[in-house]
Structure 1
Amino acid sequence: MSKKKIQNPKSSGLFRDSGKWAVILLLKAIARLPFGCLYFLSDVLYLIIKDLVKYRSEVITDNLIHAFPEKSASEILQLRNKFYRYFCDVSLESIKLYRLSEKELKKRVTFVGTETLNQLAEKRNGAILLAFHYNNWEWSGALQQQLNCKLLMVYNKMRDNEPMDDFLQKAREKWGGEAVKMGRAAKVTFRYFEQQKPVVLGLIADQSALASSPLWAVFMNREAAFFPGPVKIAQKTNQPVFFQHAKRLGRGKYEYSYSLLVEEPAQTDEREILLRYIEKMEEVIKSNPEYYLWSHKRWKHKRPQGTALIQ
């Protein structure tokens, strides 16, 4: 009769943690690479995920087919491959952020529209900034250097991977902004608001919300749920809502522009605020579709019966 091998939970946990820290050491080594080497690595990675791994190929293709029903199969394939190339670049650029110097930043990143953002944030005791998964959203944390107040960057904490979460937060906060967990965003914002300390609350607001969300709208030809939090915070504080457009100027070069989306949220219907945001996202995505995060399972939920669709 064979004996079952009993695994020590402490030793297995230690092994998993050691593996996580080994990955962090690798990421820190990659972050030290000069941009020329970084993009050579990206080119190699592109061939691997396109031809060998075929990373989330079905998800990407399905998302593109629904978003652009007028495109042929060959056009969809071309878009998917362009997305893969962009995805490899932006993934490694996000790692590079950990060691990105201020000198390199100034050569590669420009900001447009920050004057209006600063003026209204000071005048109205803060502002809400709605961004989305388009181009290099991670580098936009450098906006803090252009602001006259604190930038709060809302993020989803990584589950069961503390080393990786710590690595990402250090990279995001290196320019002086404060990373805030999604569940604490409203509480932290209201605390600053009550103390009359202006902050710019930055949210990647195209995250996939739960099916139980009351806000459902058509986004890129498909019904999608949206988190009500950003709209609720804007209406409660009546802080102006801005939209971030990350434009790619070249490999590793970006222009971040900020335009006013809603000046008086308290006097604007929540559905109107959301629809304006969606309209701006679609306008940007359609101009250069390959730069959106199509591998994200954005449309995985179905709208529950009885939940109205915002139109």
Structure 2
Amino acid sequence: MSLAERALRAGVWALSLPPLGLSRAVGRGLGRMAMRLDRRHREIVLANLSASFPEKDAAWVEATARKVFEHIAQVATEIPRLVRLSPEEITAQARCHGLDNVHNAMAKGKGLILLTGHFGNWEWGNIAGSFSLGFGALVVARPIDWPPADRLVNSWRTKGSDSVVVPKNRSARVLLKGLKQNRMLGLLLDQNVDWYDGEWVDFFGRPACTNKGLALLARSTEAPVIAHYNWRADDGKFDVYFSPEIPLVKTGDKTMDIWQNTQNYTKVLEDIIRQKPEQWFWLHQRWKTKPFQPWPREKR
């Protein structure tokens, strides 16, 4: 282990030592400061919220944007604990709902695809969910550019379970093999992709280029798909949810099936986000990729 990696791990360990309540309070303060100082991301969040909730007034948008920054900063102050705490201690800070939905889906023997995104503290929820289930998932993620940081993040993503982090750029064959072995997969579907990787679907009333890989996997393997998400509750714990199975659309038209299932999965994510919009990652430029033709609902 290099000196830089030792220093990184020591620094993260030190950040995990203050009481959780104190860390969160510091996080909220840092979030408010970031909103004032980080003009670029402030404008992204405000624009995203304004366009996604046109029925809300400017005061609501401003207040929700502040909560978004506070939430993300709290996530950043909570994450160091994932290095130090045991899986039991991490899970003790969470309540899991819908575990039977997972077990029932896995009983079909076709594997399971978790439809997920950047809700609540997604890293904490993933560990608590896997430990509560008694088995982990093949988690698709883009490797972090600095290898020591990538190894550190992957160490907590696989803590207390048989989870495996699969690099995004070479995941297809591994995921297909995993489903054949009746494994559980974790796929994010709340990020922007380039036009050649996605389908144009409605997301908060606007065209969003969305990865079609999940729909392709589900259609070709008929593996069940359920949503996996979590929220930070008022008492400080995390409520981790596994939804009922999302119906698969499979007709004789593959092109339309891929589009329709991608749209359906995206609508599930939108409905989840609307529950607690302040706990989703609005800093991301979700609508960055633009269609070549005007969206029919847009005013010209």
Answer whether TM exceeds 0.5 for this pair: yes
> Offset at 1:128?
0.5
Which amino acid counterpart does residue 249 of structure 1 have in structure 2?
A
Query: CA 1:172–1:252 in structure 2 vs 1: closer, same or farther (change >3 Å)?
Result: farther
Larger Rg over CA atoms: 1
Identity within the alignment, %: 26
Q: 1:135–1:291: 8 Å Cα contact kept in structure 2?
A: yes
Q: Partners of 1:306 and 1:74 in 2: how far apart?
A: 30
Q: Name the SS of the counterpart of 2:290 in structure 1.
A: coil
Aligned partners of 2:280, 2:286: CA distance in 1, in Å? Answer: 11
Residues 149 and 28 (structure 1), Cα distance of their counterparts in 2 relative to 1, 3 Å cut: closer
2:48 to 54, 59, 63: 63
Q: How does 1:176-195 map to 2 (within 5 A)?
A: 176=161, 177-194=163-180
- Cα 1:145–1:19 change in 2 (3 A) is closer
User: Which runs of no fewer than 5 residues in structure 1 stay unpaired?
Assistant: 1-16
Report how far residue 150 of structure 1 moved: 4.1
Q: Deviations over 1:154-175 (max 9, x none)?
A: 111112x111111111111112
How many residues end up aligned between the 2 structures? 290
The reply to whether residue 167 of structure 1 matches residue 152 of structure 2 is: yes
Shift of 1:100: 2.5
TM-score (norm 2): 0.86
Any idea what SS the aligned residue of 2:195 has?
coil
Q: Distance in 2 between matches of 1:136 and 1:156?
A: 18
Contact 1:240 1:260 in 2 (8 A): no
Structure 1 residue 232 and structure 2 residue 220: aligned?
Answer: no
RMSD of the alignment, in Å? 2.6
Using the size of structure 1 for normalisation, the TM-score is 0.83
1:148 Cα deviation from its structure 2 partner: 5.4
229, 240, 247: which is aligned to 1:245?
Answer: 229
Where 2:119 maps in the other structure, the secondary structure is coil
Question: Are the counterparts in 2 of residues 121 and 198 from structure 1 also a CA contact under 8 Å?
Answer: yes
Q: Does the CA contact (< 8 Å) of 1:240 and 1:265 recur in 2?
A: no
Pair 1:204 & 2:188 matched: yes
Runs (5+) with no aligned partner, structure 2: none
Residues 150 and 198, structure 1, Cα contact 8 Å, conserved in 2: no
Cα distance between partner residues in 2 of 1:119 and 1:192: 18
Q: Is it true that 1:136 corresponds to 2:124 in the alignment?
A: no
Work out whether 1:298 is the aligned partner of 2:286: yes
1:260 aligns with 244
Name the CA distance, whole Å, in 1 between partners of 2:266 and 2:144.
26
Moved over 4 A (4+): 17-24, 263-268, 305-309
